[in-house]
Structure 1
Amino acid sequence: MGKSKSRKFKRTQFSPNSKHGNNAGEEEIEEDEEEGEGFSPAGDLLEKLQSPSPDIREFACASISRLVQQTQVIPSFLQRDVVRCLGPMLLDKSFAVRETAAGALRNLSACGSFEVCDDMVKQDVMTPLVALLKECSAGFHSNSVPSSKSKEEQKNYTEDIANEAINLLWNVCESSSRAVSVFSKEGLLDVVMSCLERHSENVELAVSAAYCLQTVTEDNPELLCRLTPSSLRVLESVMMSSQSTMEHLLLRTLAAGCVWNLKSALPSSSQAETLSAVMRILSNTLEVDAGQAILELKEQESRRREEGEEREVQPCSDRLGEETGSREGDGMEEGDAEMGKPNASADNDISDLLPPKNEEVKQATALLSAQQTSLEIIVNMCCSDDPSDDEWEELSSSDESDMCAESSLCECSGAQVLSPLCLSAEIHAAVISFLLPEKVLKKTEFPSSAALDTCMKCPGWKSLVKKMHRVQCRALFCLHNMLSVMEEEALGGVVALQALAEHLSQLVFSQPEIPKEDEFLEAVTSAVRSLLQIMASRNIPQCMSPQQLIGLCEAAAQCSHTSVRVNAIAILGITGSTLAKQHHTADKLQMIGSFLLQVATKDPSLVGTGEALDALFDVFADGVEAERAARHIKLLPALRTLQPVFKAKIRKEGRENYSPDQLCVLDNVKVNLRRFISYLETLEKKPNP
């Protein structure tokens, strides 16, 4: 078995905070489904977009915006060319129609699948969107004001429209390489920078722009060529801003991520200073005790309510007559996004489209998003691209929805930043200097129980619970990557690694049951796997017993994500390989071997079966204890029975369900299985050890 693959994160989305739409049409959709007859709310609303009345057009856009949050409704709109109908509304004479149309398309892109976003680009949503964004950018500095609008009203409209449009741009660029190409060729970098420049006046718009910029600057050499000194100065000013709100903390963190993506375009004379500034921001972000901050914000909210100073977060526009981001009693909460573009289709959870309802929740959400972003940046910094890394994670199709591409961070234009097995000297020194390993380790702890209890008791704060757990998971992935690329001494040596094993053991085994959440299991098994690899390679004793690890693997075996099961199998393979070299371990090897055989026989994925066979090869490759255990669990007849089934599955399922690279790995396992059976047959002829 190879090393565990370093994890890389694509940019994840902060809650889009779209407020457009209303309940109009929902009852009609339900009635239409019941009756199964000709009337279509989708068709009726799209027809209203052609009305000469701007109020009716605005109402239609707002209704569509609300309806497309129901993922089951999206196909009915797509079948009627909703993108081609809404696109022209982005350039409508009415500012209100522009804003609600942008909000509707934004919700469609956020609630739809990646394929929906790609289809939106194919239907040319980018042409009116580019024109709208350029108008907004020009409007920021324009002195011409329509006679019916004050200058302040026009500025607010322009910024509100720009915020919706930037979020739409961000969504489609997250999902479509064609959209990213249009972004580069149409000079939208300048537009995004003009939004970012307004950070002292409109932090919400600046945060949206920073998220969009972080997405489009990742692995985009074409854009690097268009970067100007003025763009870098804008990012520098954001990073140096001193505003103390959590939203500004998030903004500075995002700006640091953008600068990291653009590092190869920086002047060599300033790279060291810039790297230090990036690390300082990441360190400062992680330094905040989120649990304590949430408790303080909750107290602040309570005092404000007692004083009768209700300060609700206002929607981008109150011209719809109501705040339509949520409905009383509908059970939906502003919540978390999975890795990558929020996609409500998985479980009809549109929580990321719902804005926080008060200023304190908004600030707490920004803090947790900042810490998640900071950890993801460090994860990507520590992402190696060693070709000897285990192929299973890289090739597994189980995590496509997470947008967690494991491609190299080092293939950007310019010199390679990471060597295959370790951080560059400059990055390594900065990571240590700003105490990032210690701060990451602190974030791997379970969230504050007091903060969790407080949030669980308050419906408006419940959404923060998932976000707190997500920060912990990102920290565990970060730890996994650090273990993969940093030397033992840099991590504190033998004593520190043993303490880390104790810590991870507490996370997993201190509760009555092993946590079964998929994201936590993937994160913690990745970290445990990396740590055990290091400890095994250096013969460092660790505190987790085979029985405990099998308990962890049994929980992981129930997970639908192949990567979680692969991690668990690899953990047992590492443990078994270590035990096979020791005395009086046959009983433990039997336990491990029986579990791996069960996985190899029953795992629904050929990838899981292949990893289990690989682990069996490692555990029972050599040694007297391994021979005894193999005879006891009847490993040879079991593998003889499994061999033709495995070969048949590769022939039957492989060509349809797996990539050529995956098939190559599976073919190697098939060859090694034949050889291993021959080896066991040779051992069988020997007398019992």
Structure 2
Amino acid sequence: MGKSKNKKFKRSQFSADGLPIGVVKEVEESELVESPAAEVLDKLQSPSADVREYACASISRMVQQSQVIPAFLQHDAVRCLGPLLLDRSLAVRETAAGALRNLSACGGFEVCDDMVKQDVLTPLTTLLYECSAGFDLTLPLKSQTEQQHTVEDTANEAVNLLWNLCESSSQAVSIFNKAGLLDVLLRCLEQRFHSVELAISAAQCLHTVTEENLELMGTLGPSTLQLLESVLSDHQSGMASLLLRTLIAGAMWNVKGGLPADRQAQILRAVVATLAQAVELDSGLVILQLHETEAARLQAVADGGSVEDRMPEGVAEVMEQEEPEEEKRNGSVPKRADDISDLLPVMDVELREANALLTAQQTSLEIIVNICCSDDPSDDEWEEMSSSDESEMGPDNISEGSSCLLSPLCLSAEVHGALLNHNLPEKVLQKTEFPSSATLEVCNKSSAWKCLIKKMHRVQCRALTCLHNILSTMDVEALGGATALQALAGHLSKLMFSTPGEPSGAHTHIQGSSVGCVLSASLFTSLEIPKQEEFLDAATSALRSLLHIMASKNIPQCISPQHLMSLSKVTTRCDTVSVRVNVLAILGITGSTLARECNTADSLQLIGNALLEVAARDSNMVVCGEALDALFDVFGDGKEAEKAAQSIHLLPALKTLQPMFKAKLRKEGKGRYSQDQLCVLDNIRINLRRFIGYLESLEKSCCT
């Protein structure tokens, strides 16, 4: 059904520590406070600030398990916690904001929407403004306990809560605009030299609220843009600073339409330069260095020596960061390890640096995905219906939208030039490689560092999706020509049949020579990818887009039908519809190319039988439709196609399928599929009737 659409990235909802919700749900049950919801909520009314603080911290930990959230909601947890955002104790304010933050992160979109309806943004807005006003004040602290809490800490929890709400609720974004909370975020950014953590949280929220927010764009004055540019041009060492600049680059891209005309090109070039800086770093090498630094630091502490004396070469620069300044903010002492306000385990400095690097790389790739995405409003979401949401079929079974890959770039000349000047296609390609075995081994040995493995794989998936969009928006010559595309096809094919830690050839340049495909039928037997479907979706989307380009340019493809059959057998068993659709499209593209060549009837038979099996047996009509559409492409023309069609008895097979497809569409269509999907499926039904007529005419001509 035509090419696969380029994708626009919508950020997922995030948890208390900036990780996706699924990670938070993995908190061990031993960390939970075993108190019923009603009992803990009742403690929020205690006259003792310490008891109120402890209750808030308890709720923070408990709601990280999604099964307990309904109980808290039934007992009006939001209405109980909301007033504590303005508690007379700063410690209670911070932990109350943290509890609501975790509830919003782990509860999902419906909980966030309900929190907004319960007016949690009213006290939250007041708290944010009070924190903003207090950044420059050094308030006398009464006790050692109070010294554990600063205005920046409280603001950080509050900003993260605001971020979650705005991520999930358009009403929250509207309130954000009306309340002028942009000014608060800008004040948080100004604190970056004292609290980079707060600045990053503000930048994350800003990255969210600037997306498709025309009302906010109209309020961006010269001073706002000047501050954002100054953050973008800061080049402090450390991965936290890199993450901060990356997030600001994303916000600047979101508001590009509101930039001054005389400054737009320069700012967008700076945005691309920042993204390139994040992507080009070898995260595997940096993680190994940071892990070694941690070991040296711990050994130095044990021996009473100096950390720097044991630090590996090249790591000292990474470690020159804001941390000492953070420990001195507002004259307070660092938090105790057992401080109950800590909502999640504290990361050591090296692990925080590694985490910040991977987050920066993931964010950069997501921004590049959006940069290399058309402005088609139907591309606004990640969609599982894949090619089923394509344009309607035109004459000759050609998708009206399939010419997009051949059209001029949708990118501006400035952005296109910046992407190429910074060699981003090549850098993105490098990120599609699996993490090295050495890096995986180091992370697997440490329970604290093990969480980085999922982040590394997520970066890989984002890179594959990014590659898919780059292929859709750049011409062949910009990507290195026919030879480079053949090498890339080989790399993608081999990548899908590799194990993490096993090199797959991505370290050859995109302009390099063709890479052979050595495929194994034991795909993913030992693959430890957290979301196998996510990887398969990204990889098959990129390969599908690439093969479509190669076919349109008559560039020979290096993937054999036997390799395609191995891929088909594995991925057609995948539960994700878009993966199955991508593989079928790949079979169709390759088959239609082979149909124009000589002596390919045997290969076409393999492809045809595979497509017929899916069309007859798959439970999803979108997948069945894609299989039929691929059959139309493969057997629509050519002597080799005619010969193969007769060998696999294509005409009687399709005659058998036709009434089944029609009946299934009538029975299941309206209740199970979207209107766009039904429109495409109905076109396939019509094209199936026409294609059967075409095959019948061929049969008659052969008999006469």
Alignment of 1:148 onto 2:157: no
Alignment of 1:241 onto 2:229: no
CA contact (8 A) 2:185 2:202 kept: yes
Q: What is the CA-CA distance between 1:599 and the residue it aligns to?
A: 1.8
Q: 1:492 pairs with 480, 499, 517, which one?
A: 480
- Deviation track 1:638-686 (CA, whole Å, cap 9, x = no partner) reads 3233333323333333222222222212221222122222222333334
Q: 2:91 pairs with 91, 96, 117, which one?
A: 96
The aligned residue for residue 352 of structure 2 is 362
| Structure 2: segments with no counterpart, 5+ residues | 308-322, 328-332, 392-406, 500-519
2:2 maps to amino acid = G
Alignment of 1:135 onto 2:130: yes
Alignment of 1:214 onto 2:204: no
The aligned residue for residue 502 of structure 1 is 490
CA contact (8 A) 1:4 1:484 kept: no
Q: What is the CA-CA distance between 1:161 and the residue it aligns to?
A: 1.0
- Deviation track 1:580-606 (CA, whole Å, cap 9, x = no partner) reads 111221211111111112222232322
2:486 maps to amino acid = Q
CA contact (8 A) 1:22 1:324 kept: no
Q: What is the CA-CA distance between 1:171 and the residue it aligns to?
A: 1.0
Q: What is the CA-CA distance between 1:13 and the residue it aligns to?
A: 6.3
| Structure 1: segments with no counterpart, 5+ residues | 30-40, 326-353, 400-405, 407-418
CA contact (8 A) 1:580 1:626 kept: yes
Q: What is the CA-CA distance between 1:393 and the residue it aligns to?
A: 9.4
Alignment of 1:384 onto 2:374: yes
CA contact (8 A) 1:263 1:271 kept: yes
The aligned residue for residue 64 of structure 1 is 59
CA contact (8 A) 1:11 1:214 kept: no
The aligned residue for residue 430 of structure 2 is 442
The aligned residue for residue 514 of structure 1 is 523
Percent of aligned pairs with the same residue?
A: 61
- Deviation track 1:73-127 (CA, whole Å, cap 9, x = no partner) reads 1111122222122111211122111111111111111111222222222222222
Please show how residues 215-234 of structure 1 align to structure 2 within 5 Å.
Answer: 215-234=208-227
Give the distance between the partners of 2:692 and 2:423, measured in 1 at CA.
50
Greater RCO structure (CA 8 Å; 6+ sep): 1
1:16 is paired with a residue whose SS is coil
Runs of 4+ aligned structure 1 residues displaced above 6 Å come to 18-25, 152-155, 309-316, 391-394
Alignment of 1:649 onto 2:664: yes
1:308 is paired with a residue whose SS is helix
- Deviation track 1:613-656 (CA, whole Å, cap 9, x = no partner) reads 21111111122222222232232333233333323333333222
Alignment of 1:670 onto 2:685: yes
The aligned residue for residue 503 of structure 2 is none
- Deviation track 1:541-581 (CA, whole Å, cap 9, x = no partner) reads 12111111222232222222211111111111101111111
Please show how residues 584-595 of structure 1 align to structure 2 within 5 Å.
Answer: 584-595=599-610
Q: What is the CA-CA distance between 1:183 and the residue it aligns to?
A: 1.0
Q: Kindly tell me: are residues 585 and 385 of structure 1, through their superposed partners in 2, closer, same or farther at Cα, counting changes over 3 Å?
A: farther
CA contact (8 A) 2:33 2:61 kept: no
CA contact (8 A) 2:594 2:600 kept: yes
Q: 2:447 pairs with 459, 462, 476, which one?
A: 459
TM-score (norm. length: structure 1): 0.85
Q: What is the CA-CA distance between 1:212 and the residue it aligns to?
A: 0.7
CA contact (8 A) 1:292 1:451 kept: yes
Alignment of 1:544 onto 2:559: yes
Give the distance between the partners of 2:484 and 2:490, measured in 1 at CA.
10
Q: Kindly tell me: are residues 252 and 585 of structure 1, through their superposed partners in 2, closer, same or farther at Cα, counting changes over 3 Å?
A: same
The aligned residue for residue 81 of structure 1 is 76
Alignment of 1:4 onto 2:4: yes
Q: 1:253 pairs with 237, 246, 253, which one?
A: 246
Structure 1 stretch 194-203 or stretch 42-51: which is displaced more? Answer: 42-51
1:522 maps to amino acid = D
Give the distance between the partners of 1:52 and 1:25, measured in 2 at CA.
26
Give the distance between the partners of 2:386 and 2:648, measured in 1 at CA.
31
Structure 1 stretch 527-536 or stretch 308-317: which is displaced more? Answer: 308-317
Q: What is the CA-CA distance between 1:366 and the residue it aligns to?
A: 0.6
Give the distance between the partners of 2:380 and 2:640, measured in 1 at CA.
28
Structure 1 stretch 168-177 or stretch 668-677: which is displaced more? Answer: 668-677
1:622 is paired with a residue whose SS is coil
Give the distance between the partners of 2:337 and 2:493, measured in 1 at CA.
54
The aligned residue for residue 273 of structure 1 is 266
Q: Kindly tell me: are residues 138 and 319 of structure 1, through their superposed partners in 2, closer, same or farther at Cα, counting changes over 3 Å?
A: farther
Q: What is the CA-CA distance between 1:518 and the residue it aligns to?
A: 1.2
Give the distance between the partners of 2:50 and 2:483, measured in 1 at CA.
69
CA contact (8 A) 1:5 1:393 kept: no
CA contact (8 A) 2:141 2:147 kept: no
The aligned residue for residue 365 of structure 2 is 375
Q: What is the CA-CA distance between 1:206 and the residue it aligns to?
A: 0.7
Q: 1:108 pairs with 85, 97, 103, which one?
A: 103
CA contact (8 A) 2:4 2:386 kept: no
Q: What is the CA-CA distance between 1:222 and the residue it aligns to?
A: 1.1
Q: What is the CA-CA distance between 1:520 and the residue it aligns to?
A: 1.3
- Deviation track 1:407-460 (CA, whole Å, cap 9, x = no partner) reads xxxxxxxxxxxx974422111111111111111111122222211121112222
The aligned residue for residue 623 of structure 2 is 608
Alignment of 1:596 onto 2:611: yes
Structure 1 stretch 446-455 or stretch 361-370: which is displaced more? Answer: 446-455
**CA-based RMSD:** 3.1
- Deviation track 1:137-160 (CA, whole Å, cap 9, x = no partner) reads 1111346x367379x968952111
Give the distance between the partners of 1:22 and 1:61, measured in 2 at CA.
19
Q: Kindly tell me: are residues 674 and 67 of structure 1, through their superposed partners in 2, closer, same or farther at Cα, counting changes over 3 Å?
A: same
Give the distance between the partners of 2:112 and 2:294, measured in 1 at CA.
38
Alignment of 1:575 onto 2:590: yes
2:623 maps to amino acid = G
Q: Kindly tell me: are residues 593 and 100 of structure 1, through their superposed partners in 2, closer, same or farther at Cα, counting changes over 3 Å?
A: same
2:76 maps to amino acid = D
Give the distance between the partners of 2:612 and 2:334, measured in 1 at CA.
57
1:573 is paired with a residue whose SS is helix
Q: What is the CA-CA distance between 1:363 and the residue it aligns to?
A: 0.4
- Deviation track 1:240-277 (CA, whole Å, cap 9, x = no partner) reads 21210111111111111111111111111111111121
Please show how residues 252-331 of structure 1 align to structure 2 within 5 Å.
Answer: 252-308=245-301, 318=336, 321-322=339-340, 325=343
Give the distance between the partners of 2:174 and 2:680, measured in 1 at CA.
34
Give the distance between the partners of 1:423 and 1:649, measured in 2 at CA.
42
Give the distance between the partners of 2:162 and 2:282, measured in 1 at CA.
33
CA contact (8 A) 2:159 2:205 kept: yes
Q: Kindly tell me: are residues 147 and 199 of structure 1, through their superposed partners in 2, closer, same or farther at Cα, counting changes over 3 Å?
A: closer
2:477 maps to amino acid = E
CA contact (8 A) 2:568 2:583 kept: yes
1:457 maps to amino acid = K
Give the distance between the partners of 1:116 and 1:254, measured in 2 at CA.
26
The aligned residue for residue 409 of structure 1 is none
Q: Kindly tell me: are residues 378 and 196 of structure 1, through their superposed partners in 2, closer, same or farther at Cα, counting changes over 3 Å?
A: same
Structure 1 stretch 196-205 or stretch 8-17: which is displaced more? Answer: 8-17
Q: 1:554 pairs with 569, 574, 588, which one?
A: 569
Count, aligned residues: 628
Q: Kindly tell me: are residues 519 and 621 of structure 1, through their superposed partners in 2, closer, same or farther at Cα, counting changes over 3 Å?
A: same
Q: Kindly tell me: are residues 13 and 193 of structure 1, through their superposed partners in 2, closer, same or farther at Cα, counting changes over 3 Å?
A: farther
The aligned residue for residue 43 of structure 2 is 48
The aligned residue for residue 695 of structure 2 is 680
2:8 is paired with a residue whose SS is coil
CA contact (8 A) 1:395 1:662 kept: no
